[in-house]
Amino acid sequence: MNRLLTERSSVENFEKEMEKISPFELKDRLIELADERIRKMMHILLNAGRGNPNWVATEPREAFFLMGRFAIEECRQSSEYAPGIAGIPQKEGAAIRFEEFLESNAKEPGAELLSKCYTYMTQEHDADADALVHEWAECAMGCQYPVPDRILKHCEIAVRDYIGEELCGGRPPQGDFDLFATEGGTAAMCYIFDTLQQNHLLRRGDRIALMTPIFTPYIEIPKLNRYNFKVTEIPADRMSSDGLHLWQYNEKEINRLRDTSYKALFVVNPGNPPSYMMAPETIMQIVDIVRRWNPNLMIITDDVYATYVPGFQSLMAQLPYNTVCVYSFSKYFGATGWRLAVAAVHRNNIFDDLIKRLPRKRTGELQRRYGTLRADVENMRFIDRMVADSRQVALNHTAGLSLPQQLQMTLFALYSIIDKREGDRYRTKMLSMIKQRLDALWRSTGFTLPDDPLRAGYYSEIDMMVWAVRFYGEDFAEWLRLNYSPLDVVYRLATETSLVVLNGGGFDGPQWSIRVSLANLHTDDYTKIGEHIRHILDSYAERWKNSLPIVE
């Protein structure tokens, strides 16, 4: 839509057209409207709709680029090739050459971190130094297929340690998690849905539960004809005594999971868009339900915002047997363009065991599906089936995340572990920046945001109806519901002020809520957003007051 909508009928047509569209697609339409407004009024577009960070973690990137310099020197050792062509890195003696390189480049950006990463892997994991450096050099050059295809050996060690620190509060459960490196968290989601269905763990029409509000694809994918799952939503609808959202779950709603007809539970924790960690008592309630009532419940938890809540504890830490976890490096390190994520599955898990219990007809089908990869398909693990399914099985030999991506993932993971031991400077600065933006947003609205240790704060969800009641009363709120669409707020922000936010209803949150990303604008911009949000609420109130009958 490329014309400016000014008449009320046009606004209503827009809102009706947009009611069913994904909030991320709606965002693009709003940007078009905001862009046209810019052309007409020279406003600056402020896009707080998408959660793409406007920062980058510099040190692990400097280490990556310095590793590239070493790797190209390794390639040039061979004299066999003509100018402009080099060999590939060689393993023998790689560690000695790497140590000499670090010594001679000690003052270069990234050298100190590379040295610390190398020391961490060789001393704490007794990694073979030549093999480690060779893996890193090949990764920097991108000159080989990923082997193993699921994830490289030393990359898995580093990322497993990182997940133990960040998702399990430094206290991972006994046993190891196997990791599958994927092209961002979205790819991991696609692979999980696919492999669950291909292996008859979730069949068309099965019952699943979603803990809402939730990242929109988790709402939309189950509705696809391929899956057509029967979905029950468990809403985070608890309110405080003074009528404010807590963004937590009611015990009664969680208890619905006792019903064994629920095959799977999908969770984003901390939530998107509320951006609050699931309360510890809720986690323990789910643990109790799984252990006493529904032991075969499969849990898929998406924990991409875990690093924004100090001491975060994932469901994977409490229920490793039942849980597959998705984690992306995109948000914490400012690396959405790198497409770095992992799916984590414990070695001892419900997914493998349920596959072993399938009837003979189903196991026969799976033998035919995966039989070209190995003779003993019955012993093929769920996570390896994910790898194969990610490449339609037939292309399994070319599966795997690219080597440069795995190197950067390794360096992100090790950087975080090392920095945490040295004072957690990166996290401290990150959380401080996010809090400043959050405070600026809410302070300028005139609303109140109570402190909450469970809040991640990467997004903020503002329920306009809550504040309508608080400032102007129930009669005004009812008038607002009857006379306007919930999308009117995001539409007016886009067309009147060139501000783009997402509608919370698109995440199955409160219909009159809006999601503001705290990641991609500067602090002063959030002050402007808050002021405009309050202005819109006050303008509704003025119209309401003018519509009231005059009392003589």
Q: Is residue 49 part of a domain?
A: no
Both 367 and 465 in a single domain?
Answer: no
Instruction: Tell me the pLDDT band of 7, cut-offs 50, 70 and 90.
Output: very low
Q: What integer pLDDT is reported at residue 21 of this predicted model?
A: 56
Q: What integer pLDDT is reported at residue 19 of this predicted model?
A: 53
Cβ contacts of 511 within 8 Å, gap of 6 or more: 465, 486, 504, 505
Give mean pLDDT, residues 407-423. Answer: 98
Domain that holds residue 461: 8-43+425-544
Q: Is residue 209 part of a domain?
A: yes
Q: Percentage of the chain surpassing pLDDT 90?
A: 82
Instruction: Tell me the pLDDT band of 50, cut-offs 50, 70 and 90.
Output: confident
Structural domain ending residue among the three candidates 119, 144, 169: 144
Please name the residue that has the structure tokens 């020197």: 73
Q: What integer pLDDT is reported at residue 1 of this predicted model?
A: 35
| DSSP string for 282-350 | HHHHHHHHHHHT-TT-EEEEE-TTGGGSTT-B-HHHH-TTTEEEEEESHHHHT-GGG-EEEEEEESS-H
Structural domain ending residue among the three candidates 360, 385, 418: 418
Both 462 and 356 in a single domain?
Answer: no
Both 505 and 458 in a single domain?
Answer: yes
Q: Is residue 2 part of a domain?
A: no
Both 99 and 35 in a single domain?
Answer: no
Both 339 and 213 in a single domain?
Answer: yes
Q: What integer pLDDT is reported at residue 219 of this predicted model?
A: 93
Give mean pLDDT, residues 278-296. Answer: 98
Both 353 and 437 in a single domain?
Answer: no
> Does the pLDDT of residue 220 top 80, yes or no?
yes
**How is residue 365 written in tokens?**
């089908």
Give mean pLDDT, residues 383-392. Answer: 97
Both 462 and 376 in a single domain?
Answer: no
> Does the pLDDT of residue 376 top 80, yes or no?
yes
Q: Is residue 498 part of a domain?
A: yes
Q: What integer pLDDT is reported at residue 33 of this predicted model?
A: 59
Instruction: Tell me the pLDDT band of 512, cut-offs 50, 70 and 90.
Output: very high
CATH (domain of 96): 1.10.20.110
CATH (domain of 287): 3.40.640.10
Give mean pLDDT, residues 80-93. Answer: 89
**How is residue 460 written in tokens?**
């903020």
Both 183 and 121 in a single domain?
Answer: no
> Does the pLDDT of residue 77 top 90, yes or no?
no
Both 262 and 407 in a single domain?
Answer: yes
The C-alpha angle with vertex 306 and arms to 303 and 309, in degrees rounded to 5, equals: 150
Residue-wise pLDDT tens digits, 21-48: 555 565 566 566 555 555 444 455 678 7
Both 139 and 232 in a single domain?
Answer: no
Give mean pLDDT, residues 58-62. Answer: 98
| DSSP string for 39-97 | HHH-PPPEE-SS---S---HHHHHHHHHHHHHHHHHHTT--SSPTT-------TTHHHH
Residue-wise pLDDT tens digits, 449-496: 889 999 999 999 999 999 999 999 999 999 999 999 988 998 888 888
Lowest mean pLDDT across 173-177, 204-208, 454-458, 487-491? 487-491
Q: How many domains does the chain have?
A: 3
Instruction: Tell me the pLDDT band of 164, cut-offs 50, 70 and 90.
Output: very high
Q: What integer pLDDT is reported at residue 2 of this predicted model?
A: 35
Q: Is residue 491 part of a domain?
A: yes
Q: Is residue 552 part of a domain?
A: no
Q: What integer pLDDT is reported at residue 42 of this predicted model?
A: 42
Both 180 and 300 in a single domain?
Answer: yes
Structural domain ending residue among the three candidates 144, 161, 192: 144
Both 430 and 527 in a single domain?
Answer: yes
> Does the pLDDT of residue 337 top 70, yes or no?
yes
Residue-wise pLDDT tens digits, 141-161: 999 999 999 999 999 999 999
What is the edge-to-edge ordering of all strands in the sheet holding 459-463?
Answer: 459-463, 513-517, 502-503
